[in-house]
Amino acid sequence: MVGRIHLFASWRVAPSCSGQRGVGFKAEARMPAYAGCAARAIALAAMLATAATAASAEESIFAFVYTTDLLPQGKSEVEQWMTWRHQKNGGTYDQIEGRTEYEYGLASNLQGAVYLNYAWTQAYHNGPFNATTPPEQFADYAAGADDFFNAKRFTGVSGELIYRILSPYTDGIGLALYTEPTIGKNFFELENKVIVQKNFLDDLLTVAVNFTYAPEYRNVPSDDNPAVFNWQEETDVNVGLGVSYRFIENWSAGFEFLNEREYNSFDFSHLSNSGYYLGPTIHFGGERFFFTATALWQMPWATVHTDTIPGALVNHLVLDNDFERFRFRFKAGYTF
């Protein structure tokens, strides 16, 4: 019944969309513009209500960190991701990455997925020493130090398998193994994770930890001669922590923390960058529809490592490759 009260609240608020404040129902007759605003608010509220009622989901409670919750066997889900990366050393830098995903429950403890990945970016004087530097997903593109770089591309296709070994609901702690190969032009990556989940407070508080090992090959222009491309090795080794509490029915909120480390090798040697991100997360889960949003700011905890390039570290923030000052991810999904 709480919902009815809130739906009523949305009706009451609608009139102020005409720019008037402190006007109630009685003013409706005097201000016909009201009616339109209120009607639109109610129509949108009704659409949301219909979508979520007809539908709620087996969903991503975090935007970056994975949990051990999987789709039941035979069930499907589509997800749309949007990740915005913003601001490097200086100048201008924005990148929006999109992922469109289809997930399927292959067995009660096994889930598969395929992704289509695409990205757009603009960069200008964003890199070390004010040079324009294409971000990592565009590392095979050439750009002059003073160019305004603007590009979009289909970055590749990914597959994903998650196998749950332990469930947090029946085994006390959740444990799952994850693998995700991605192939694109001049790029191949195999991302592997160990996912651990522990619930508290009658399962209202979810804590998840991810350990990621992701070796990748990139075919990039050589520093000496941009016309010559070389395949380079890189490994991302990440630790992620997500904590979220369901504070009201359907809604959870908490924080996510990431430590991402890049090695210029496959064997944990030649550490180039290590960045730390922290920020809030919010999640709505309905019967079939969900959305999750997380904003992360890089913490000023980065230090110089053996392969850190000059100028990549600014005020204890590492801003090389796919590190930036701020990132935001939004996921929405529908289960069927």
Partner 1 sequence: MKASHWVWLPVAAISTSAYATTYFSVEQAQRAIFPGASFTSTGKPNIWRTSNGGYFVVERVVGKHEYITVAIGVNPNGTVKQIEIMDYRESYGYEVRDASWRAQFVGKSASSPLELGADIKNISGATLSSKHITDGVKRVLQGLKG
Q: Is 2 an interacting residue with respect to partner 1 (CB under 8 A)?
A: yes
Minimal distance, residue 157 CB to partner 1, in Å: 27
Out of 27, 31, 33, 73, the residue judged to bind partner 1 by CB under 8 A: 73
Q: With contact defined as beta carbons under 8 Å apart, do 180 and 191 qualify?
A: yes
* Choices 55-63, 136-144, 151-159, 236-244 (CB under 8 A): range interacting with partner 1: 55-63
* Choices 66-74, 135-143, 265-273, 317-325 (CB under 8 A): range interacting with partner 1: 66-74
Minimal distance, residue 44 CB to partner 1, in Å: 6
- Stretch 94-133: interaction string toward partner 1, x if CB under 8 A: -----------x--x-------------------------
Out of 34, 66, 93, 284, the residue judged to bind partner 1 by CB under 8 A: 284
Name which of 19 and 310 has its Cβ closer to partner 1: 19
Q: Is 247 an interacting residue with respect to partner 1 (CB under 8 A)?
A: no
Name which of 247 and 268 has its Cβ closer to partner 1: 247
* Choices 65-73, 88-96, 138-146, 300-308 (CB under 8 A): range interacting with partner 1: 65-73
Out of 33, 40, 172, 185, the residue judged to bind partner 1 by CB under 8 A: 40
Q: 225: how many CB neighbours lie within 10 A of its CB?
A: 9
Q: Is 7 an interacting residue with respect to partner 1 (CB under 8 A)?
A: yes
Q: Is 60 an interacting residue with respect to partner 1 (CB under 8 A)?
A: no
* Residues at the interface with partner 1 (CB under 8 A): 1-4, 6-7, 9-10, 13-14, 16-17, 19, 37, 40-41, 44-46, 48-49, 52-53, 56-58, 71-73, 75, 105, 108, 167, 169-170, 202-204, 248-251, 284-288, 335
